[in-house]
Amino acid sequence: MPKKNNTNKQKNNKKIKQKKATAPKLPKKVIEYLKKTGVPHDIIEHKTVYTAYDAAQTMGKKINEIAKSLLVKADKDYYVVILPADKNVDFDKLGKSIAKIKGKGVKTIKIPAEKIVQDLLRLKNETVSAFGQLHKLPVIADASFAKLKKAIFSSGGLGHSVEMKVADYLDLEKARVGSFGVKKTIKKTIKQ
């Protein structure tokens, strides 16, 4: 009888090895959140992307139509920061914007380590979503982003994004607006 069990185990192991990898899923919490709020939006399914540039290329969108989502820590508080993907964060300006919101100065501002981000947001094979309210975190958006009509937002999943009107997003997230985005500078290498 023990031989039979070993054979069954081997067959079961073979079955496990033959399973195909599944595509990244849209986080259920995002689906439920958007459904509950009733805000008009479109879910865009796409190949797995890791950067805003890849997302723009994959979806055939301009880079400034992609919302970059970052988690930042200002002193002891965390914020979800949103800005167009063609911009970088000026941390001095962001600190001043957050200070206005808090009503007091900010001493330190930084992007936390990946492990802290994963633990705080309870992420598993996901990215920082644009929906800070899901995590009870305040959202601060760059003023240049607030001028856009529509944008593509991170769902938190690597294979799905959410498209919606920026005004709807700002209302939904109770986002505060500040000026902290600066144009990315690209250093060109000179061939000699």
pLDDT, tens only, 73-92: 999 999 999 999 999 999 99
Pick the closest to residue 136 from 121, 151, 149, 123 (CA basis).
121
Q: Provide the pLDDT for residue 24.
A: 55
Q: Provide the pLDDT for residue 94.
A: 96
DSSP one-letter code for 66: B
Pick the closest to residue 160 from 62, 55, 69 (CA basis).
55
Tokens of 119: 């633990």
Q: What are the CA-CA distances from residue 89 to residues 18, 24, 83, 120, 133 (Å)?
A: 45, 28, 8, 22, 21
DSSP one-letter code for 10: H
Residues of the chain with pLDDT under 70: 1-25, 123-126, 186-192
In 19-156, which ranges are continuous DSSP H helix?
Answer: 28-37, 52-59, 91-102, 114-121, 143-146
Work out the number of other CB atoms within 10 angstroms of the CB of residue 123.
Answer: 17
**Dist. CA 19–CA 96, nearest whole Å:** 51
Please give the domain boundaries of the chain with CATH numbers for all domains.
29-183 (3.90.960.10)
Q: Provide the pLDDT for residue 21.
A: 41
Half-sphere exposure of 103 (CA within 13 A, CB side): 0
